[in-house]
Amino acid sequence: MATKDATAPTAAAPAPAGDRITICNGRYEIFPSTAVPQLNQPGAKAYAVQGIRGGGSLIGLVPDLHEFPRHDASPSALNVNSPYVFRYVDTDVVYWPEFGRHRPVVVIEKPAGHVCMSSVTEERPPLPGELNFKQAVESMHDGLRDIYLAGLSHGRINPTNLFMRESGNYALCIGECLSTAPGKYQHYGFETIERMMAKPVARGPAASPEDIYATGVSLLLLLLGRLPALSMPLEELLHAKIEKGSMMALLTGMKLPSAYSEFFRGVLADDPELRWGLDDISHWLGGRRMGSKPAGQLRKAQRTLEFNGQFFLHPRLLANAMSKMPDNAARIIEDSSLDRWLRRSIGDEEMADALQEAISTAAGVTRGGTATERLVSRSCVALDSAAPIRFRDVAAMPTGLGPLLANLISSGQQPRTVADIISSQIISFWSNRPTNFNGENTAVAQIFEGVRMLLERNLPGYGVERVLYELNLHMPCLSPMISEIYPLHLKAVAQGIERYASTVGPEETTLEPMDRHIAAFVLSRQKRMNDRLFPLLDPKSDKGQRAVAILSILAEVQKKFHNEPMPHTSEWLGRLLAPSLERYNNKVLRDKLTKELKRVSRKGDLEALLALVDDSNVQRQDKDGFDRARSEWSQWEKVARDLSSNTAAREAAILNQGRQITAFIGIFAAAAIVLVSVFTKFF
């Protein structure tokens, strides 16, 4: 059973290559020098794993750099308990000698049997007999049912990821789907028309109709032994699927026995509404004739529309072409020729109205790319609302924008286009199309509306980094300081910072244990964090204030997620905090705090450090004392100025006062003399 901490880096010190590495809280050992290449997955290599107490044969899948396993799907994968589905065991993060850094490891049971095909374009013996075919279908049906019951979706069902247990037994076992982003390594022939149009990394998680479609293509390939259509270039196969329907396109050059046509028409239906579900497959297996639903015909125009030297009859193909030539596309939108074509040649008033809505709403948005890009992108959604969102050179399903962003940022590319898609609010427009309007898509649109707000605040803790972590809950923190240890949660972030702090010398005064990635990661994984601290992390803000903000954030992380001393980090912060003591006015207090800071920072308790430098009582006392001192200084200054100014006038006044006193003395003395004289005379 995987625990939350199981994904914390377990190998603190790098193990030498070839050694076994203990993983998953000591339950298993992985052997970096014992590769199992026949079980390699696209984007992940397989290595031998064994249980500490023996047990079943296991493998560990170690994804390549820039691959991010679906850790968020691990709890669901644990619930899958089916002989027809790969068995997930655990996940961990370990130091991997080959990469010289920590990498995630997905431990699964070694699949029984052999993989059906090593390449989908190769040829294999056709599946013999209807009963064997039904056995394969049944195993796939049961496997998919168990996957969905566990709350998982697959996204990479094809014969290179399907296993047959033994010869003569055609029950299939579905391979793993956790080591890489869903759809990224799926062959385009196994994707629906809509997902085919998206960039592989931007296809997003597959829903059950898409897994069933992939199952249909896989079974068709296994049944016939080969599908020449899968060797066609993507664009060619896409056009064929759009124009002839998936089943006919995939059967190019092949003949399907009539006994199977009902099944494949059902599972390969291009309209998701008409495509069979698991219940339909179950009924078919039970021998019920489903009565083939008519294949959904794409609406065709009576007259072609010329665009960029080509003639189009289908809005879907036109939208695909328009997205590649936005300037030309803007011309046919703005001169109303597209609108006329939709109303007169296709007769689709709804689509034409959607186009008008796209034009008017695009004009109301000012952010996210150029006006032309926004207009063409929305118009493409109006023409083909089930297709991916197409913007500049990107075609992405809305749920694929997160994985796409992760891919761009982790490989050092500019995430500008994804940011522009979010800013242009096209996802709201997409989710409001009648064909897309459902609870799930509305929730997706709400998520993107939320991240749009985050994107527009270009402060630490926000911006594109925050969007990355909000949209990808399985992402590790990509901060260059700590990404080496693949930190998936805040405990690992604290460990990573402490590890990095141990390499920072005492003379270093410019580096800080916080960057935009760490700030965004912390705020996305700990929503209750005081978000008023994050604007203070801005590089333009006061150095001392920034250091206190960093300390406040890391102290909370330490307190709640990593209750262990962080001496290197606190000493580093201690040095950075020196300017923050300048805010105290009292020199004696400052000197005392400086001494205390050095003492407390050696302990590694960030909260104690924070209590020292950010004690509101001490701050208030210092401020009150300062105000009193300033007032006293001011009063003394007034008295001093008074005393030292206008000396002559002052002396004249004193002299006058002296004369008055003298006159008084004179009068008093005279009165005394008079009295004495009278007294002497008469008594």
| Residues within the interface to other proteins (CB under 8 A) | 585-588, 625-626, 629-630, 632-634, 636-637, 639-640, 643-644, 650-651, 654-663, 665-667, 669-674, 677-678, 681
Nearer to other proteins by C-beta: 289 or 681?
681
Strand 394-396 vs strand 389-391: parallel, antiparallel, or unpaired?
antiparallel
Residue 145's nearest CA partner among 85, 101, 228 is 85
Sequence-distant (6+) residues with CB within 8 A of 242 are 193, 298, 314, 316, 317
Other Cβ atoms within 10 Å of 632 Cβ, number: 10
Nearer to other proteins by C-beta: 412 or 682?
682
Nearer to other proteins by C-beta: 131 or 588?
588
Residue 341 DSSP one-character state: I
Q: Which helix (H) or strand (E) holds 140?
A: helix 130-149
Distance of CA 458 to the CA centre of its chain: 16
Interatomic CA distance for residues 584 and 580, integer angstroms: 8
Smallest separation, CB 621 to other proteins (Å): 13
- Sign of the torsion formed by the C-alpha atoms of 411, 8, 522 and 404: positive
Other Cβ atoms within 10 Å of 290 Cβ, number: 14
Nearer to other proteins by C-beta: 443 or 672?
672
Smallest separation, CB 525 to other proteins (Å): 41
Smallest separation, CB 643 to other proteins (Å): 5
Smallest separation, CB 575 to other proteins (Å): 22
Smallest separation, CB 590 to other proteins (Å): 9
- Sign of the torsion formed by the C-alpha atoms of 286, 288, 293 and 295: positive
Nearer to other proteins by C-beta: 366 or 647?
647
Nearer to other proteins by C-beta: 611 or 674?
674
Nearer to other proteins by C-beta: 149 or 671?
671
Smallest separation, CB 636 to other proteins (Å): 5
Nearer to other proteins by C-beta: 244 or 583?
583
Burial (0-12, 13-18, 19+ Cβ within 10 Å), 121: middle
Q: What is the largest CA-CA distance in the chain?
A: 164
Smallest separation, CB 595 to other proteins (Å): 17
Interatomic CA distance for residues 456 and 423, integer angstroms: 8
Q: What is the DSSP string of 351-410?
A: HHHHHHHHHHHHHT--SSS-HHHHHHHHHHHHH-TTSPEEETTEEE-GGGHHHHHHHHHH
Place of tokens 């333009």: 540
Q: Which helix (H) or strand (E) holds 448?
A: helix 439-456
Nearer to other proteins by C-beta: 371 or 678?
678
Smallest separation, CB 580 to other proteins (Å): 16
Smallest separation, CB 445 to other proteins (Å): 53
Smallest separation, CB 66 to other proteins (Å): 53
Residue 171 near residue 138, CB atoms below 8 Å: yes
Nearer to other proteins by C-beta: 443 or 675?
675
